[in-house]
Amino acid sequence: MNVLFFAELYPIRENPLEYYEVAKRFSSRINDYKYNSRIVCNDDIFSRLYAEGRVARAQRVPLSSDIKQWIDDNTSAWDEVSIEKWIKYLTNHEEVLSTYLSHIKKYIFDFDILVLWGKNDTISALASQLQFKVIYMELTPSRKPYFDGIFVSQDGVNGDFKAAKEKKLNLLKNELPETKESLLIVLQLYDDLNFQLYSPFNTLNDFITDVINSFPVEYFDISIKRHPHSSIRDINLIKEDNAIKYAAELGIQEYKAKDGYYIEDFDNIVTINSSVGFEAATRGKKVFILGEASYAHDILSYSNSIGKKDNVTSDAIKNSASTFAKSYFLKWDEFNSYIMTEFCKAAHIKDINPLANHLSIIITMPIVINKSSVSISNYALDTDICYEVNEISGYVHFTEKNHCYDKPLFLLEVVNSTIVSGMTCNDFVHSYKVVSKSESKKDFILIGNSLKVIGISEA
Spatial distance between the Cα atoms of 134 and 189, rounded to a whole number of angstroms: 27
Predicted confidence (pLDDT) per residue in 3-17, tens digit = 999 999 999 999 999
Spatial distance between the Cα atoms of 413 and 395, rounded to a whole number of angstroms: 9
Annotate 199-220 with DSSP letters as a single string.
Answer: -S-SSHHHHHHHHHHHS-TTTE
Annotate 89-138 with DSSP letters as a single string.
Answer: HHHS--HHHHHHHHHIIIII---SEEEEES--HHHHHHHHHHT-EEEEEE
Q: With contact defined as beta carbons under 8 Å apart, do 420 and 381 qualify? A: no
Q: With contact defined as beta carbons under 8 Å apart, do 264 and 257 qualify? A: no
61 pLDDT above the threshold of 70:
yes
Q: With contact defined as beta carbons under 8 Å apart, do 156 and 193 qualify? A: no
54 pLDDT above the threshold of 80:
yes
Spatial distance between the Cα atoms of 230 and 225, rounded to a whole number of angstroms: 11
Other Cβ atoms within 10 Å of 114 Cβ, number: 25
- Of 244-253, 323-332, 361-370, 380-389, the least confident: 361-370
SS3 string of 278-300?
A: HHHHHCCCEEEECCCCCCCCCCC
Angle at CA 293, nearest 5°, toward 287 and 295? Answer: 70
288 pLDDT above the threshold of 60:
yes
Predicted confidence (pLDDT) per residue in 244-286, tens digit = 999 999 999 999 877 667 888 999 999 999 988 888 888 888 8
21 compared with 399, residue with greater pLDDT: 21
| Cα distances (Å, whole numbers) of residue 434 to 380, 409, 431 | 21, 16, 10
What local confidence, expressed as pLDDT, does residue 418 receive?
A: 65
Find which of 201-210, 266-275, 333-342, 379-388 is predicted with most confidence, using mean pLDDT. 201-210
Q: With contact defined as beta carbons under 8 Å apart, do 37 and 5 qualify? A: yes
What local confidence, expressed as pLDDT, does residue 141 receive?
A: 75
Respond yes or no on whether the N-terminal peptide bond of residue 228 is cis (omega within 30° of 0). Answer: no
Q: With contact defined as beta carbons under 8 Å apart, do 418 and 433 qualify? A: no
Estimate to the nearest angstrom the gap between the alpha carbon of 286 and the chain centroid. 27
Domains and CATH numbers, the chain: 2-139 (3.40.50), 166-328 (3.40.50), 348-458 (no CATH)
Nearest of 137, 181, 144 to residue 3 by alpha carbon: 137
Average pLDDT, the chain: 75
| Cα distances (Å, whole numbers) of residue 458 to 40, 395, 399, 434 | 43, 12, 17, 8
3-class secondary-structure state, position 40: strand
* Run of H or E residues at 27: helix 20-30
Other Cβ atoms within 10 Å of 456 Cβ, number: 25
Instruction: Lay out the sheet containing 380-381: strands in order across.
Output: 380-381, 418-424, 410-415, 442-447, 453-458
Annotate 384-396 with DSSP letters as a single string.
Answer: T----TTTTGGGE
Question: What is the value of pTM for the model shown?
Answer: 0.70
427 pLDDT above the threshold of 70:
no
168 compared with 261, residue with greater pLDDT: 261
